[in-house]
Amino acid sequence: MAAQCAAALCGLLLLSFSANLARSDDPPSTPVSPSAACNSTTDPTFCRSVLPPHGKDDLYTYGRFSVAESLAGARKFAALVDRYLARHRHLSPSAIAALRDCQLMAELNVDFLSAAGDTIKATDTLLDPQADDVHTLLSAILTNQQTCLDGLQAVATWSDRGGLDAPIANGTKLYSLSLSLFTRAWVPTAKPPKHPSHKGGHHGHGGKRKPSATARRGLLDVTDDEMVRRMAIEGPERTVAVNSVVTVDQSGAGNFTTVGDAVAAAPKNLNGNAGYHLIYVLAGVYEENVTVPKNKKYIMMVGDGIGQTVITGNRSVVDGWTTFQSATFAVVGQGFVAMNMTFRNTAGPAKHQAVALRSGADLSAFYGCSFEAFQDTLYTHSLRQFYRGCDVYGTVDYVFGNAAVVFQGCTFYSRLPMQGQSNTVTAQGRTDPNQNTGTSIQGCALIAAPELSANAAFTTLTYLGRPWKNFSRTVVMESFIEALVDPSGWMPWSGDFALDTLYYAEYNNTGPGADTSRRVTWPGYHVLGDGTDAGNFTVTSMVLGDNWLPQTGVPFTSGLLS
C-alpha cells in the first residue's frame, strides 16, 4: 500500500526541513552560546569546532561568521586546484578534465559566497526574493562541491584523487554549516502561503498540453524585420525588452556562422534591466559544442523551431569527457533564455553518460525546446530553472542534477535503451536537507518514444526516478503517465540507499500509469492528497517564478493547474 502523507505533517516537511532540526521559541536575534547554536545544524560536532568557543552571539552573527569562513575556505581550495593544474604534465588527461570541472566549481563558489556574504552583512531581515536568492546560492555551493567530487571519484587511475579528498570533505562540511545557520536565522519557520490553487502569472495553455508549433513561434518571430527594428519581443501578455540583436546563419548572410562565435561576441555581465542580448539562430544543423560562460548574462537565444534549429554534438564519458563536460550545450550565465531549438547529443546509448544540455544558470528558462540523447540527456545542474512546452528524450536518468526546477507542459519520451537497461526519467541529486532544490514535473506527459512503442518484444522497465543522492527530491503532479511506467513507480539506486531520506511524491496524475495502489512503500515516498502540500512545488514556491519569469516572455502557471 502506498504511503500517505498527512496534510499537517507534509506541510511541516515541505516548508522547512531545517526548521525541524531544532525548534526554538527564541528569535534568531537572541544571544545563545555557540554550542546551543550548533544544535540546530546538521553536524553539531563540526559546528562547535568552527564557531568561536567563548561568549554569546545571536544566530545572525554566527551565520555571517560561518559564511566568511566558507568564503576563505573556497578561496584556498580554488588556489589548491590551480596549483594542481599548473603541474598538469604529471596528470592523466582524465584527471585534468576532472580538475578543470573543479576549477570552475571553485570559482563559482567564491562568487556565490561573496554575493551571499554581502547580502547578509547588510541586514538581519531578509524577505523574498533576497532570502530565496541567498538560500539558492548557499544550496548551489554544495552542489558545485559535489560535482567536483563526483568527477574526481571517476578518475580511477589518479590515486586518492591527488590528495584533494580531505579538502573537499572539509569544505562540504563548512558549506553545509553555513546553509544550516542561514536557514535557521534568515528563513522563517512558517512562511506565508505561496501556492495559489488557481492559474496565475502567464497562464498560457494551462500546462496540460504542449503549445502548437504556431504558438511557439508566435512568441517571437525574429524573421520579421519590423520586430528586429523594434528590438522587442511581443509575448502573450507583455513586451520583453531586447537591447541588441544578432543573427547566426550558416550561409554567411548573418552576423555569425556559428553559435559559439555569437556567444563569444556577446556583451559581458548584462544585468537584465536594459533587456536581453538576442541571438537569433536560423534553421540549420550546427555541429558544435557551445558554452555560455558565467560572464555572459541575460542572453536570449531563439531558433526557427524544434528540428529546424539544431545544435548537436557527440561527447561522452566513454570517449574521455567528464559527464559535466560532455554537454553539447552548456550554460552558466545568469538569465539565459532559449526558445524554439533542439539540443542533441548523438553519442548513443553505448557511450553511457552523454549530455545534450547542461544548465547551471540561475533564472534560466527554456520554451518550446527539445533535448535529445539517451543516458543523462538534460543536466539541470544547479540554481533556479524553468521549462515550458519542451520535449525531453532519453533512457537512463535522463533528467538529472540538483537545481530547483519546474517543468510545465513538457513531454518526457522514454526511448529504447540498451539490452538489460531500465529507463529512469529522473535522478535528482539533493545532498543536504537544507537545500531548496528539487525537480517538479507539473502538467506534463510521460510517454514512450516511437522506437520504444514499436518494439513490443523488447521488455523495458520504466520508472519515474531513482535517488542519485541522499536527499533526492522529485514530485510528479497533475501529469499524464502512460502505461509504460512500472506499477512500483520508482526504482532504488542501490539497496536501501536514501529510501528513508529522499522525498518522492505524486499528486493528481492521470493515465494508465498513474495508479498509485502498487507503488513503492519507502518511508520517503508520499501520495499527496492535499493541494496545499503540492502547492509547495509550483512555480511560485519552488523557483519564486512570479518575480522573474514575466520578463522572459515565457508563459507559465503560478500555482496548481486546478
Q: Return the pLDDT at 54.
A: 83
* DSSP H helical ranges for 420-507: 450-454
- Per-residue pLDDT at 446 exceeds 70: yes
383 residue type, one letter: L
SS3 sequence, 115-183? HHHHHHHHCCCCCCCHHHHHHHHHHHHHHHHHHHHHHHHCCCCCHHHHHCHHHHHHHHHHHHHHHHHHH
| pLDDT band of 538, cuts 50, 70, 90 | very high
Please compute the mean of the pLDDT values over residues 301-311 and round it to a whole number. Answer: 98
Do residues 454 and 325 share a domain? yes
Cα–Cα nearest to 338, from 273, 394, 259: 259
Please compute the mean of the pLDDT values over residues 315-338 and round it to a whole number. Answer: 97
In the β-sheet with 329-331, what is the strand arrangement from edge to edge?
A: 290-292, 329-331, 357-359, 378-380, 399-401, 423-428, 462-465
Please compute the mean of the pLDDT values over residues 319-331 and round it to a whole number. Answer: 96
Do residues 346 and 492 share a domain? yes
Look at the block and give the residue holding cell 598538469: 88
| pLDDT band of 122, cuts 50, 70, 90 | confident
Of 186, 218, 252, which residue is a domain's last?
Answer: 186
| pLDDT band of 456, cuts 50, 70, 90 | low
In a domain, 209, yes or no: no
Do residues 466 and 334 share a domain? yes
> Cis bond leading into 492, ω under 30°?
no
Q: Which helix (H) or strand (E) is 463 found in, with range? A: strand 462-465
Residue 549 to residues 205, 218, 555, Cα–Cα distance (Å): 16, 18, 8
Q: What pairing do the DSSP bridges indicate for beta strands 309-313 and 284-287? A: parallel
Do residues 326 and 421 share a domain? yes
Report the range out of 206-215, 233-242, 273-282 with the highest average pLDDT: 273-282
Do residues 265 and 179 share a domain? no
Do residues 320 and 448 share a domain? yes
In a domain, 137, yes or no: yes
Q: Is 101 marked active-site?
A: no
Q: Return the pLDDT at 161.
A: 66
Q: Is 448 helix (H, G, I), strand (E, B) or coil?
A: strand
Q: Cα separation of 141 and 135, whole Å?
A: 10
Catalytic residue chosen out of the listed positions 376, 397, 486, 546: 397
CATH number of the CATH domain containing 115: 1.20.140.40
In a domain, 399, yes or no: yes
Q: pLDDT (tens digit, 9 = 90+) per residue, 363-392?
A: 999 999 999 999 999 999 999 999 999 999
Within the chain, how many helices (H) and strands (E) appear?
13, 28
- Per-residue pLDDT at 6 exceeds 50: no
- Contact by Cβ (8 Å): 361, 119: no
103: how many CB neighbours lie within 10 A of its CB?
16
Task: Specify the pTM.
Answer: 0.89
In a domain, 18, yes or no: no
Do residues 179 and 267 share a domain? no
CATH number of the CATH domain containing 278: 2.160.20.10
Q: Cα separation of 438 and 401, whole Å?
A: 9
- Per-residue pLDDT at 184 exceeds 50: yes
Look at the block and give the residue holding cell 510517454: 447
Do residues 256 and 177 share a domain? no
Number of separate domains in the chain: 2
Q: pLDDT (tens digit, 9 = 90+) per residue, 223-259?
A: 333 333 333 344 444 578 999 999 999 999 999 999 9
- Per-residue pLDDT at 148 exceeds 50: yes
| pLDDT band of 216, cuts 50, 70, 90 | very low
Do residues 426 and 513 share a domain? yes
Please compute the mean of the pLDDT values over residues 266-280 and round it to a whole number. Answer: 94
| pLDDT band of 53, cuts 50, 70, 90 | confident
| pLDDT band of 457, cuts 50, 70, 90 | low
Do residues 39 and 146 share a domain? yes
Q: Which residue has the higher pLDDT, 134 or 216?
A: 134
Q: Return the pLDDT at 209.
A: 36
Do residues 250 and 156 share a domain? no
477: how many CB neighbours lie within 10 A of its CB?
23
Of 141, 164, 186, which residue is a domain's last?
Answer: 186
In a domain, 217, yes or no: no
Cα–Cα nearest to 267, from 302, 301, 297, 292: 297
Do residues 288 and 421 share a domain? yes
- Per-residue pLDDT at 500 exceeds 80: yes
Q: Return the pLDDT at 217.
A: 32
In a domain, 175, yes or no: yes
In a domain, 164, yes or no: yes
Q: Return the pLDDT at 123.
A: 83
Q: Cα separation of 157 and 194, whole Å?
A: 49
Going along 378-449, which residue ranges are E strands?
Answer: 378-380, 384-388, 391-394, 399-401, 404-408, 411-414, 423-428, 438-442, 445-448
In a domain, 15, yes or no: no
| pLDDT band of 519, cuts 50, 70, 90 | very high
* DSSP H helical ranges for 87-129: 93-122
pLDDT mean across residues, the chain:
87
Of 144, 160, 186, which residue is a domain's last?
Answer: 186
- Contact by Cβ (8 Å): 221, 228: no
Q: Return the pLDDT at 4.
A: 38
Please compute the mean of the pLDDT values over residues 266-289 and round it to a whole number. Answer: 96
The whole domain housing 451 covers 243-552
463 residue type, one letter: Y
